């Protein structure tokens, strides 16, 4: 598992990178009430804003952590945004990405590094 400074987690699963947000991020956002996902098949660039997530407090974007193609999105989040608060590390993954270069993963934080970041 790798982490970005934007509070995303990345997990490799069958050659794909699954992306979600951390429980810390979910707690800070508060009750999530709206999620907008990209379409499967979209080609994305690293740092491109691809997901919109709105809580009762604020709108935020999730950036694509890697260059690649969106292979699958978690449509269940659109119907039930509160999943992001209930199970951010499990059921509430956002999208699966076919990375152009898995080497980009190396730039990201380890769990220990992320824990240090959030204090």
Partner 1 sequence: MPMRLNFVFGINIGGNMTLLRTPLHALHEKKGAKMVPFAGYDMPVQYSLGVLKEHLHTRAHAGLFDVSHMGQVVLRGRNYHTVARALETLVPVNILDLPQDRQRYGFFTTPEGGISDDLMLANRGDHIFMVVNAGCKIDDIAYLKRQLEPEITVEEITNRALLALQGPAAEVVLAEHHPMVAGMSFMDVKTVPLAGAECWVSRSGYTGEDGYEISVPVAVAEDLAQALLQHPEVEPIGLGARDSLRLEAGLCLYGHDIDTASSPVEAGLAWAMQKSRRAQGDRAGGFPGAERILNQLQQGPKSRRVGLLPEGRAPMREGVPLFASADADTAIGVITSGGFGPSLNRPVAMGYVPADMAAVDTQVFGEIRGKRLPLTVVKLPFIPANFKR
Report the interface residues with partner 1, using CB under 8 A.
5-8, 21, 25, 28-31, 33-34, 36, 49, 52-63, 78
Find the shortest distance in angstroms from Cβ 78 to partner 1: 8
Find the shortest distance in angstroms from Cβ 40 to partner 1: 19
Closer by beta carbon to partner 1, 17 or else 60: 60
Query: Are the CB atoms for 26 and 9 separated by under 8 Å?
Result: no
Distance between CA 34 and CA 100 in Å, rounded? 29
Is 6 exposed, middle or buried (CB count within 10 Å of its CB: 0-12, 13-18, 19+)?
middle
Closer by beta carbon to partner 1, 15 or else 118: 118
């Amino acid at each position: 598992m790798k982490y970005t400074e934007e509070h995303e987690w990345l997990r490799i699963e069958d050659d794909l990178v699954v992306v979600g947000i951390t429980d810390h991020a979910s707690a800070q956002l508060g009750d999530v009430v709206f999620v907008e996902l990209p379409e499967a098949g979209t080609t994305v660039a690293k740092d491109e804003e691809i997901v919109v997530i709105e809580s009762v407090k604020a709108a935020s974007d999730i950036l694509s952590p890697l260059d690649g193609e969106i292979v699958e999105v978690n449509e269940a989040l659109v119907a039930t945004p509160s999943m992001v608060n209930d199970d951010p590390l499990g059921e509430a993954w956002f999208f699966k990405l076919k990375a152009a270069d898995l080497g980009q993963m190396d730039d990201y934080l380890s769990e220990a590094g992320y824990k240090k970041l959030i204090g």
